[in-house]
């Protein structure tokens, strides 16, 4: 399965989603690793098996085993962190923000790929999961490392396109 096969599964009401999926492969504003790692991390974060499988298959020829694992790790660790830090951010009781998280997050320090790429993937997954605290944290790190606002926007655009593909497939069921 690939992006083309994923597009063929989308109903006519999702014509814009098909067009947007096509634009992801031809986007040149990110490195190959950044682009295909985003597809993997966001595909997993979409929680839709068809989307996940199609995007992993699309990305596999373009990513090393280490980069594939790091993209999967970004989706996984953000699945945990986004829940926790969204709770801390949204809770009226600010005491939770002063308490240690007590969550293992070693992969963030040593992701096995360039830290900027991992941060970009983590940002996009955090956008899908709706964690403002994590979005702000990852965006600040990326901007400090010289990633442009346009690159950040591209990452979040990829996340929105991938999530919309998952929604379109569910809407057609």
- List active site positions: 131, 134
Q: Residue 157, Cβ neighbours under 10 Å: how many? A: 19
CB contact set of 6 (below 8 Å; sequence gap of 6+): 21, 50, 51, 54, 55, 165
What SS3 class is residue 134? Answer: helix
| Token pair listed for 81 | 């962190």
CB contact set of 135 (below 8 Å; sequence gap of 6+): 123, 126, 127
| Token pair listed for 145 | 């490392």
Contact 96, 83 (CB under 8 A): no
- Torsion over CA: 143, 145, 148, 154 (sign): negative
- Give residue for tokens 């926007």: 153
Name which of 162, 70, 81, 88 is nearest 126 in CA terms. 81
């Amino acid at each position: 399965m690939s992006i083309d096969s994923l597009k063929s599964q989308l109903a006519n009401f999702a014509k814009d989603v098909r067009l947007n999926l096509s634009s992801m492969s031809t986007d040149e504003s990110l490195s190959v690793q950044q682009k295909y790692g985003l597809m993997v991390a966001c595909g997993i974060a979409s929680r839709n098996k068809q989307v996940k499988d199609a995007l992993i298959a699309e990305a596999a020829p373009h990513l090393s085993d280490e980069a594939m694992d790091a993209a999967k790790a970004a989706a996984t660790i953000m699945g945990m962190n986004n829940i926790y830090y969204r709770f801390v951010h949204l809770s009226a009781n600010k005491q939770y923000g002063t308490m240690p998280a007590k969550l293992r997050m070693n992969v963030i320090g040593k992701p096995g790929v360039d830290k900027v790429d991992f941060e970009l993937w983590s940002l996009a997954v955090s956008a899908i999961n709706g964690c403002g605290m994590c979005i702000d944290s990852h965006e600040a790190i990326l901007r400090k490392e010289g990633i442009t606002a346009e690159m950040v926007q591209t990452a979040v655009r990829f996340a929105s396109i991938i999530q919309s593909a998952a929604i379109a497939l569910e809407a057609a069921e």
